[in-house]
């Protein structure tokens, strides 16, 4: 999936308690997701199948991408200079055999989490700034200035990172690799400020949203993954 997810028509959620991500749904498992969650799709690409299910006693987002791409977006508007902690649980049912990390022809991931970041245009390299201006003018005015993309990869080891083959605005970070067990829940916890500084040289101005997704549009394979317990809270970093 080569493009950055947009925030067009997103609404800022009401924050309740310490978790700045609302539950998938206010209703029982198997129902529809509740605002502010909404579908995140890419133009001209077949959308992934998304549903809310109960999996192993967890309220989970199930994504099945059959030569498709897409996810579920939670818009945000939070100050980026705080040490925000993002955690979630995920599991995937199979590897994508043809995927190749950070390449155009193999840019597919059985599971991935995007964090959308806002930076002043003046802080970006000149060429990146010009490309972003053109993309916002001709493609989508709501493209974020930068994106962290945490992925479950089929070949490379956790800790591997690289810019997206499609755009310098996206930093790809592998959290789970080929040795990760399939069909088992695993837990992640990330310091978004620290990761953004490592990737882009400074803390973002704002945190604009989080997307849970899966994609197989480049390889034409099938990805099936689950996400549960999304949490975002302000940490106590230095």
Give the confidence band of 27 by pLDDT, cuts at 50, 70, 90: confident
Average pLDDT over residues 179-188: 97
Are residues 111 and 100 in contact, defined by beta-carbon separation less than 8 angstroms?
no
Confidence category of residue 130, pLDDT binned at 50, 70, 90? low
In a domain, 21, yes or no: no
Residue 19 lies in a domain: no
Residue 93, domain member (yes or no): yes
Residue 23 lies in a domain: no
- With a cut of 90, say whether residue 97 has pLDDT above it: yes
Tokens representing residue 216 in the block: 């197989």
Whether residue 120 is contained in a domain is answered as yes
Q: Is residue 122 part of a domain?
A: yes
**Best mean pLDDT range from 7-16, 88-97, 128-137:** 88-97
Which stretches within the chain are classed as H helix?
A: 126-138, 192-200
- How many CA atoms within 13 Å lie on the side-chain side of 17? 6
What span, in angstroms and rounded, lies between the C-alpha atoms of 222 and 211? 19
| Residue ranges making up the domain that contains 115 | 39-234
Query: What does the pLDDT read at residue 213?
Result: 97
The whole-angstrom separation of Cα 236 and Cα 34 is 30
The CATH code of the domain that includes 156 is 2.60.120
How many folded domains does the chain comprise? 1
- Looking at residue 125, what is its pLDDT? 67
Q: Is residue 127 part of a domain?
A: yes
């Amino acid at each position: 999936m080569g493009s950055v997810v947009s925030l067009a028509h997103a609404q800022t959620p009401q924050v309740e308690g310490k978790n700045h991500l609302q539950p998938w749904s206010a209703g029982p498992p198997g129902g529809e997701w509740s605002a502010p969650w909404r579908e995140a799709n890419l133009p001209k690409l077949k959308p992934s199948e998304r549903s809310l299910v109960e999996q192993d006693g967890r309220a989970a987002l199930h994504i099945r991408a059959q030569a498709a791409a897409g996810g579920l977006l939670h818009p945000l508007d939070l100050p980026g200079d705080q040490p925000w902690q993002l955690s979630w649980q995920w599991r995937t049912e199979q590897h994508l055999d043809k995927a190749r990390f950070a390449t155009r022809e193999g840019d597919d991931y059985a599971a991935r989490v995007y964090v959308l970041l806002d930076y002043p245009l003046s802080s970006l390299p000149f060429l990146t700034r010009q490309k972003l201006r053109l993309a916002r003018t001709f493609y989508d005015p709501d493209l974020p200035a930068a994106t962290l993309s945490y992925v479950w990869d089929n070949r490379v080891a956790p800790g591997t990172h690289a810019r997206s083959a499609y755009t310098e605005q996206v930093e790809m970070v592998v959290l789970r690799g080929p040795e990760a067990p399939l069909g088992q829940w695993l837990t992640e916890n990330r310091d978004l400020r620290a990761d953004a500084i490592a990737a882009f040289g400074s803390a973002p101005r704002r945190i604009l949203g989080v997307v849970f997704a899966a994609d197989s549009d480049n390889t034409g394979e099938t990805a099936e993954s689950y996400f549960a317990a999304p949490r975002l809270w302000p940490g106590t970093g230095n």
